[in-house]
Structure 1
Amino acid sequence: MAPSAGSGLFTRGDWPEARRVAGLLRQETVGGALLLIASVAALVWANSPWRHAYTDLTSAHLGPHFLHLDLTVAQWSADGLLAVFFFLAGLELKHEFVHGTLREPAKAAVPVVAACCGVAVPALLYAGWQLLDDGRPVGWAIPTATDIAFALAVLAVIGTHLPSAMRSFLLTLAVVDDLIAITIIAFFYTDSVSLVWLVAAIVPLGVFGWLLRRGVRHWAILLPLAVVTWLCVLNSGVHATIAGVLLGMLIPVNARAGERSPFGERVDHRVRPLSAGFCVPVFAFCSAGVTVVGGGFREAIADPVAIGIIIGLVLGKAVGVFSGTFLVARFTRARLDDDLDWSDVAGLSLLAGIGFTVSLLIGELAFGAGSGLDDHVKLGVLLGSLVSALLATVVLRRRNATYRRIHEFESRDDDGDGVPDCYEQPAGATSAP
């Protein structure tokens, strides 16, 4: 097939980056499955005759009283464990800027515009719904986040033949989405800021970055500096997860002379199993346990807050991501890769409506953990994510046969060099089965 005019949307990229993304997505898919198990376990326990034990567990205090470390189990999961999750988000963002899609402005425009529209439209729909109900648009940022682990877990169930370029796009979209969510948390969900603690955080953070630039790679030196940075940010009034992002973006993603692999790659290899296998599932377990027995479901589902979240996730995310991608294709030289169809983009846009980890975190920051509205937020996030997943399944299952045919063609390695033949074609060429 002749090369396409203009630059392609969702093109396959180069082989090393595609291989890295494939490995990363496999880990995220396993993490999504664990996230689902933890969430279901929390829901079952919170609606069982022993639900008071669940509340007692998540509200139990752990840690010393000094430096505000006397936190509940739920607070430790949100402020402590999620900092590890956001550390990896910062590291992935750094990699995208250096090696990934975001290093080229023309290619970066697609996921960036899609992510921005995927944040703006749900926020507007949520705020509009609250104002129509004579309420205040508190919590407008709740339906703006995409949970990459859950989204990829759903993809694993739908089928394993989604084109690698679309998987990469979904990953980049989620990374940009996380960056926007982090900015929102820092600017809109910080009540008061202690400049003394913020200035104090700059010292260990600066030493951390300076040592990395000097080639220091010892965990015994770097980890204490990271913990001190997190502690200072925690006491500053800014959400502690911001420390994780800043630390992650300081990790080098290029290999130095004499290194077999970049330090960032080795860090990701060690930390991601901890994040996906423990940190995020524990947060989900502590946050997803909403009690709906005894009339709680009817009350929650009638709350404008829950309805607004569902509308934002299901309709807002789908319209925002799809329209953002369409606008890039309409007003630039970019076009869809010849192997793909706009129904693929529609399915991907629906998947973006699966919001969980960051949505629940923003809900707690907006309405207060353990409050009545917090329970309604949880139910809205769960139902909105479920409906988005089901709609995405309907759309993408229909395309699964096409994905399988494309996958079989692209996996051919006629010369036996270990690199699929499609990655050895001249730059700009596209092909179809």
Structure 2
Amino acid sequence: MAGNRARSPFLGLLPLPERQVIARALRTETVGGLVLLAAAIIALLWANSPWSSAYSAVRDFHFGIPALGLDLSVGHWTADGLLAVFFLVAGIELKRELVVGELRTPATAALPVIAALCGMAVPAALYLATVSAAGGSPAGWAVPMATDIAFALAVLAVLSTHLPAALRAFLLTLAVVDDLGAILIIAVFFTSDLNPWALAGAFAGLILFYVLQRARVRGWWWYVPLGLAIWALVYNGGVHATVAGVAMGLVLRTTRDPREDASPAARVAHLVHPLSAGVAVPLFALFAAGVSISGDALTGVFTSPEPLGVVIGLVVGKTAGIFAGTYFAARFTRARLNPDLAWADVLGLSVLAGIGFTVALLIGELAFPVSDTGEHVKAAVLLASLGAAVLAALLLGRRNAVYRRLWEAENLDADADGIPDIYQRDAADSTGSRADERSP
């Protein structure tokens, strides 16, 4: 009995401060996910309409500052420029998780990190096995590794699924670790023609960024020009420019000084997150998701090894990797599943994580630039994400009555004091237990 009490609950009630932070982040992601979904639909309709030539013309239109090596097409500006804003937010979320969130201690971090790593390794392995058996290119091995949290939350919003906060937080943590993996993959495997001087300049800029943060220097007029310079130097250095965004996010200070209402990272996230979720990512989707959905294109998804490997990796690999990683991590650690939930809930969440959109499309463009295979891989990402969404809807929908009951219990505030009653009841129970222990 004592051993069971010592085991920490997995997917149990979150601490109130952590729940409030996650609720704010997920609210923005959900709205952004709905905008992202609309942008993807518009891209598909536009690219397959009589005005498809106009879509291509807009996407391929070049502008910029050639003298600075920044003469890019609209499509590349959205992928290299606007997505840097998305990765800035990802960097801030990652650092928050590492400093004050679920990843700050090895005990709490072990289970979601193991699940996320398995959820990246298994899809990559299935992709490589598929293309190896069919004689395809291994270049797209990283495409099925990433989860799109915004798209997944948009699916939940459309379905009106009342997932409890702990399940949503677990999905968010998986996505944060996924983002870190994607950043490392982009930085290590998708770099070319490195310019050491430009990279040295970017590193110097990051050091200055760090010094300004530690000196408590405030004012956007310091950081915005410096951030743009770091981004341009990283781009010209041969590393994908989105790495600059996450690097600056990791440098931002996440701890709050005594006289501060919020840390610099929290303030930047509050200002930039709506821009990332509502503008940057949807615009990227608008110019990345416009692929042909003709019969030949769809047939190519299932007859070519590379797109087929992506579909298998996302739909099968993500599900198997995350579920198996979670089960074995819980089996061999001190964690135990919340008794109000079942392993079927973890399975549904694992399937939902197979929705890989933004980062998967980005890595697909990097792995197969300007080729028919690249277009088929994009179509595969879209089809696999749709398939994962439908399967997750069926699995999670069957348990929605349970989720609704838990969600209502978590949010009930009968005395209207702004604090859910379940936290006050738990605190009272804890106080009563301590009083019982002191009584003779």
Q: In the alignment, is the contact (CA less than 8 A) between 1:87 and 1:245 conserved in 2?
A: yes
1:386 match? 386
The range that moved more, 399-408 or 278-287, is 399-408
Q: Secondary structure at the match of 1:91?
A: helix
- 2: CA distance between counterparts of 1:234 and 1:427? 55
Q: In the alignment, is the contact (CA less than 8 A) between 1:159 and 1:397 conserved in 2?
A: no
Q: Secondary structure at the match of 1:8?
A: strand
The alpha carbon displacement at 1:12 in A equals 2.3
Q: Secondary structure at the match of 1:129?
A: helix
2:28 match? 27
Q: In the alignment, is the contact (CA less than 8 A) between 1:158 and 1:396 conserved in 2?
A: no
1:12 match? 13
Q: CA 1:414 to 1:4, structure 2 compared with 1: closer, same or farther past 3 Å?
A: farther
What is the count of residue pairs matched by the alignment? 427
Q: Secondary structure at the match of 1:317?
A: helix
**Structure 2 residue 366 is the aligned partner of structure 1 residue 365:** yes
- 1: CA distance between counterparts of 2:11 and 2:189? 33
Letter in 2 for 1:186: A
Question: Mind listing any 5+ residue stretches in structure 1 that lack a counterpart?
Answer: none
- Residues 227-271 of structure 1, C-alpha deviation per residue, up to 9 Å, x if partnerless? 111011000101000000000111111211321122222111110
2:71 match? 70
- 2: CA distance between counterparts of 1:150 and 1:60? 28
The alpha carbon displacement at 1:426 in A equals 5.0
The range that moved more, 384-393 or 148-157, is 148-157
1:396 match? 396
Q: How does 1:406-417 map to 2 (within 5 A)?
A: 406-413=406-413, 416-417=416-417
Normalised to the residue count of structure 1, the TM-score between the two structures is 0.95
Q: Secondary structure at the match of 2:54?
A: helix
2:100 match? 99
The alpha carbon displacement at 1:10 in A equals 1.5
Q: Secondary structure at the match of 1:63?
A: strand
- 2: CA distance between counterparts of 1:239 and 1:164? 34
- 2: CA distance between counterparts of 1:4 and 1:319? 30
Q: In the alignment, is the contact (CA less than 8 A) between 2:147 and 2:175 conserved in 1?
A: yes
Q: In the alignment, is the contact (CA less than 8 A) between 2:14 and 2:165 conserved in 1?
A: no
Q: In the alignment, is the contact (CA less than 8 A) between 1:118 and 1:321 conserved in 2?
A: yes
Q: How does 1:17-416 map to 2 (within 5 A)?
A: 17-293=18-294, 295-368=296-369, 370-413=370-413, 416=416
The range that moved more, 115-124 or 44-53, is 44-53
Letter in 2 for 1:376: H
The range that moved more, 331-340 or 319-328, is 331-340
Q: In the alignment, is the contact (CA less than 8 A) between 1:110 and 1:328 conserved in 2?
A: yes
Letter in 2 for 1:215: R
- Residues 323-349 of structure 1, C-alpha deviation per residue, up to 9 Å, x if partnerless? 110011111121111221111100100
Letter in 2 for 1:328: A
The range that moved more, 87-96 or 332-341, is 332-341
Letter in 1 for 2:380: G
Letter in 2 for 1:47: N
The alpha carbon displacement at 1:293 in A equals 3.0
Letter in 1 for 2:9: G
Question: Mind listing any 5+ residue stretches in structure 2 that lack a counterpart?
Answer: 431-440
- 2: CA distance between counterparts of 1:190 and 1:258? 43
Normalised to the residue count of structure 2, the TM-score between the two structures is 0.94
- 2: CA distance between counterparts of 1:191 and 1:64? 21
Q: CA 1:428 to 1:92, structure 2 compared with 1: closer, same or farther past 3 Å?
A: farther
Aligned-residue Cα RMSD (Å) equals 1.7
- Residues 346-398 of structure 1, C-alpha deviation per residue, up to 9 Å, x if partnerless? 01000110000000110111110x32111101100000000000000000001
Q: In the alignment, is the contact (CA less than 8 A) between 2:137 and 2:306 conserved in 1?
A: no
- Residues 110-163 of structure 1, C-alpha deviation per residue, up to 9 Å, x if partnerless? 110011000000000000000000223121000000001001111112334211
Aligned structure 1 segments of 4 or more residues deviating by more than 4 angstroms: 2-5, 426-429
Q: In the alignment, is the contact (CA less than 8 A) between 1:154 and 1:389 conserved in 2?
A: yes
- Percent sequence identity is 53
Q: Secondary structure at the match of 1:272?
A: helix
Q: In the alignment, is the contact (CA less than 8 A) between 2:161 and 2:397 conserved in 1?
A: no
The alpha carbon displacement at 1:414 in A equals 5.3
The alpha carbon displacement at 1:41 in A equals 0.6
